[in-house]
Chains A and B, each alone.
Chain A
């Protein structure tokens, strides 16, 4: 029996762990600041006047407004905190499960330092307002490329390590890591496809509904494959280690893995329920979300039951405490997720803080506690010493737990309360009872409690940092050296060709192709595909009877062959993504739109839109009136039928701006038609002067508003020179701009800006500007026509503008039965026409 001595690379693990703790504290601190901004608008910069003793003067500071800090918080927590924690966990466990050192120290170094550079780049660009305007996908395109490259380096290093492993079998934790690497690469690349307009700006290739669908396919699965599957892999490795007993059921872990990977990828559309997303996609998202209950709880129970016989440790061992609570929070969050995906529940919860509470029970409870448990387990091993203080770790646990419970309970209460208030009507049933800002005022106590809960959780993590630092100081960095047996059995003997060209795979693939043909081919041709499918199935059964053992062996061998395993995982996730996205890419184009079709933005309005995106307004304001009565009553216009947001109204929006949370009201109908006699000036719900004063001081419009003021928009100039390139890219993406040269574009922007400025500084009751007290109206018009505030007002006044497209001879819609959503039968048609048994009896004369 050959043996070999291996020294593991634990330096990379230590580095990732330390950075995870540092970035975690930064991310959580930013989160706490952002939370306080919702209670006190002064936290958007005004507070700096007090703490700098007047050195800083101003109502706000652009770098720290909620719209810019919130993306920094989410990116820091997801990619910096959990990302680094995940890499630490993966590097440590993969080496031990493969019984080999990581394949390349150089690649590990590039991965580790490259990832930290990306985080630093994000920490600079996001507060600077450089964003793509898509949640958790905000980073600008050069950073996107860096992320993709570093991820590929991670993948190469990981798979290379698998290839040189000394353990033939692939433990289930490695399966979860494989799924993470493959799926995150796919999601990230597709959702970040963009065309640059400059080094710091780009437009996503998808627009409107397509962009929404791709975004939430990515966004949901970022939760699934970045925050869940790698942590499950970590659970399957570290929980048995901490409890010193094997996983409760290896069988259950197999079912857990495949069911989870296969189902998770389909559930993205549940983020777009009751919107203008086609109903079939909404139903798909809802159903697959409900199905997720089973594998998620299977995994949770498998984790908790691994502690059987080790529950006594719960009293003394902080690692077990964190893991047990973390897995329990996984169960709670994965129970709540499907619940919120039920359309009826989603009516209440969506766009409210209930979702925020749900997300944080996962992020703080599952990710945060699993991270802490892993750190406390790893630190003594990585520095060859004992944990500095078990009591401090226990204190971290209890402070963190109270923090999470406070946070989540506050957000549940706030979400349900606000959701109910927003839908409440007056006794006549035709008008709404509460103004939006009244509902915001009603949840202020909960907002403060949330900030306090978040602060407690942050304090807990600071204790963790102290504990780990002291532990490291009390020991020496240590790399484990072990003697391992070199396997004599064959591994990875299945090359790519054999993986694909064998009976089970060939039958499955061919079956899928025929199934698709049956779905998509026109009448009669689809029947032929169905017959071929049945014949193939019969032949497959015969084949299995003849070569059943061989087929079984193929699957057994799969568990020892990482390449075919990876391909199968890729196929599973690609199918789920393709079924959702491809039909929408093919169908949802402007030439298929009937009814409302979005009007194109003028150059100035486009510039204003980019400012809106840059300021992160989408973090608080949606642009999607859902197909729900309270939404239509609140945000629709009087005298317009079906005034929810239609699919065609945002079809040219790159990126879409439907939003995911309403801290402020929806803005889909904020704009309005052109003012009579003007080619440039529009007036919507409010006139230009209202917007001017509101952006300077939102408390002018309503004293209970928590929106930050935007004084810098009155100072900074609009980047008019960038517009020709931006419009060229929009045209490239399919937005039907008419041909304009550079000068025409710039002139058009200037003309509109001048016309809007005149409505502010000329005529009755002109507005004034403190920064230019002596300036005449004409001077103010000339100056402000170049400033950002005017471009933003132009955009606000354009929101919700559309034209109606009539099409000759469109197919007649088929009315559906409102209860079953099936075609009306003869009987239900009679009911529809009012013919009931009672009416018939009444109509017939009795003898």
Chain B
């Protein structure tokens, strides 16, 4: 039997495990609202300056690799599937399958960050850096550094969120391995899942804005 039977079914201030789960979920959704607001500040800032300097944004964004950006999009979308499948596996009391799905999600996240590492390296090499560190001589627009300020801050903060997600996924993997969860007690898995989907969601918007300027 899973070790959850040795633990309390739910914290004492909740009526039931289901109650605890539902309450935790509300809390998680409230946190995700703050994540949306965090990124929205960056998106609105981006929108304002893209509107003011459309030519510069168009020219500068060609320095980004659309293929790598598309691959990263596919990688993150797939990782959302495997994250959902991990929770599905726990819901059906299949911890071994859950571990496989969590591992695959983790690997997708690694792949995403590796690709970003290559992208960032290339930009460092070309002097396509934010603000005062900008040293590229190829781009014509004099204020192209502004685009790269947005690029690095937006993908950077997103990247930090990916890293945090990886840490959470690794922690959940360890806990699944320990037998901490079953089909009625998997709150942490669910909430980490929700967090991971938001990370994917932010990228869904970042990708066309940064990589696919018409």
Chains A and B come from one and the same complex: no
